[in-house]
Amino acid sequence: MDWIRALSGLLLAAALSLAAAGAAQAHPHVWITATSEVLYAPDGSVTGVRHAWTFDDMFSAYAVQGLEGKTKGTYSREELAPLAQTNVESLKEYAYFTFAKADGKKERFNEPIDYFLDYKDTVLTLHFTLPLKNPVKSKQLMLEVFDRSFFIDFKMTDKEPVKLVGAPAGCQMKLERPNDGTASAQKLNEQTFMNGENANFGLMFANKITVDCP
């Protein structure tokens, strides 16, 4: 649970109470609704991916606990900037929950840029761009967004979940959504997830984005 405290910037007491409340429950504990944009350079190479992750209302409420905005119940990007920085720094350990392959070769990302948080309708949304370490031209790009431990459940939005920005003509995108695993996950306790084959349980719930270009 240490990383979730860092991710949210919560007070220690709040984080421990959240951990205690969830200790006897199965994963996930945090829900994210996501959109992604695959970014292309003018020469047709993929340069990175831009995410927008909206946290569930309970997690959002914990995350802003103790923050004081100029207007009650609202927070500006400037007021949320320290929390946004904590978010992206904490995500590094988990490879930003984003995994890429170009023509079957694993690609890696640099640290996030252009990141910020916004707060609307009582929920937080984290925006950030992940640049590829080496922009790449490929016939097929595969992106997976998921948490290996299934502590976080990622759900791509129903409307325009993935966009291709600046992609060459003829590129086609396909999104494969995970099956709803909540029911089966509830049958497993925390210890089950931390041991054996189920340590990578989250792979079953990966969102898989495939882009095929001529």
Query: What pLDDT sits at residue 53?
Result: 97
Per the model's pLDDT, the better-predicted residue between 184 and 103 turns out to be: 103
Mean pLDDT over 135-148 rounds to: 94
Number of H helices, E strands in the chain: 6, 11
Per the model's pLDDT, the better-predicted residue between 106 and 185 turns out to be: 106
Query: What pLDDT sits at residue 193?
Result: 39
- pLDDT 10s digits, 28-56: 788 999 999 999 999 999 999 999 999 99
Query: What pLDDT sits at residue 196?
Result: 44
- pLDDT 10s digits, 5-26: 444 443 333 333 344 344 434 4
Closest CA relative to residue 8, chosen from 25, 32, 35, 26: 32
Share the mean pLDDT of the chain: 81
Query: What pLDDT sits at residue 213?
Result: 96
Max Cα distance, the chain (Å): 54
* Contact between residue 181 and residue 205 where contact means Cβ atoms under 8 Å apart: yes
The strand order across the sheet containing 98-102 reads 105-107, 98-102, 140-145, 207-212, 172-176
Per the model's pLDDT, the better-predicted residue between 27 and 123 turns out to be: 123
* Contact between residue 62 and residue 10 where contact means Cβ atoms under 8 Å apart: yes
Domains and CATH numbers, the chain: 2-212 (2.70.170)
- pLDDT 10s digits, 45-102: 999 999 999 999 998 988 888 887 788 778 999 999 998 998 888 888 889 999 999 9
CA distance 209 to 202: 16
- pLDDT 10s digits, 180-200: 544 444 444 444 434 444 445
Query: What pLDDT sits at residue 87?
Result: 85
Read off the amino acid at residue 166: G
